[in-house]
Structure 1
């Protein structure tokens, strides 16, 4: 089973944002810092999940265990419903992508267990600032 730690961060709400993705696969680790441009914090969290699913699809993974410290994302995915209408299209993308895998789990974890993904998301914020065209 592939363990995927995800986090979104925003410098302001909205502000420059980034996604942090840390993947553990049988002793191999992969780290991603993806700049997202101007987004709200919750948007960045949902987009981090989408980006991680896309990466897992490219890598042909089949059994995924996602971990996030975002209760908004975890609850929305588990209930297949987002209270805020603004996030429903993002949730729909997550649900569609997640169905392309043999097994997909998502679990809430405390922030202290998601430090690597958080560091990667914060690094991605600075990548926006260094190259605002991306």
Structure 2
């Protein structure tokens, strides 16, 4: 399953939302999620989107996942290229890593924002709706 994720924050911190698009192996969307998550930072929103996407993939029965994000920080942290120094990100990082281990195969890749437009749109709309 392919998962496109994005987090948005209006201000940093500010009203935030997540966007998740889950696609079958043919690349066709099977579920789109846009959820407001209250007030937080953009990096927390990115991690919350990752966690929500992985949880939903498990619920849909996926055993392999390819996650695509336009957050270079998240991709590099999850792949062990950057450390996670922010105390508020560490529990989210640990949760995401634990979820990734539940799949037979899992990857997280950075992509340009132009290739992540649907998740971006969902996250921005959810951030606008956040209170």
Query: Taking structure 2 as the reference length, what is the TM-score of the superposition?
Result: 0.92
In the other structure, the counterpart of 2:43 is: 42
Is 1:53 matched with 2:54?
yes
CA RMSD of aligned residues (A): 1.4
Work out the CA distance in 2 between the residues paired with 1:27 and 1:68.
15
Work out the CA distance in 1 between the residues paired with 2:17 and 2:118.
13
Structure 1 residue corresponding to 2:121, chosen from 119, 122, 126: 119
In the other structure, the counterpart of 1:62 is: 63
In the other structure, the counterpart of 2:4 is: 5
Which is helix-richer, 1 or 2?
Answer: 1
Which deviates more from structure 2 when the two are superposed, residues 82-91 or residues 17-26?
A: 82-91
Q: Secondary structure at the match of 2:89?
A: helix
Work out the CA distance in 2 between the residues paired with 1:23 and 1:56.
7
Structure 2: any 5+ residue segments left out of the alignment? none
In the other structure, the counterpart of 2:18 is: 19
Figure out how many residues of one structure are paired with residues of the other and give that number: 128
Work out the CA distance in 1 between the residues paired with 2:39 and 2:53.
19
Q: Structure 1 pair 99/32, CA: closer, same or farther in 2 (3 Å)?
A: same
Shift of 1:86: 2.4
Residues 13-67 of structure 1: per-residue CA shift (max 9 Å, x gap): 1111000001111354121101110011111011110111111111110110000
Structure 1: any 5+ residue segments left out of the alignment? none
In the other structure, the counterpart of 1:97 is: 99
Work out the CA distance in 1 between the residues paired with 2:35 and 2:63.
23
Q: Which runs of 4+ in 1 moved over 4 A?
A: none
Work out the CA distance in 2 between the residues paired with 1:107 and 1:73.
9
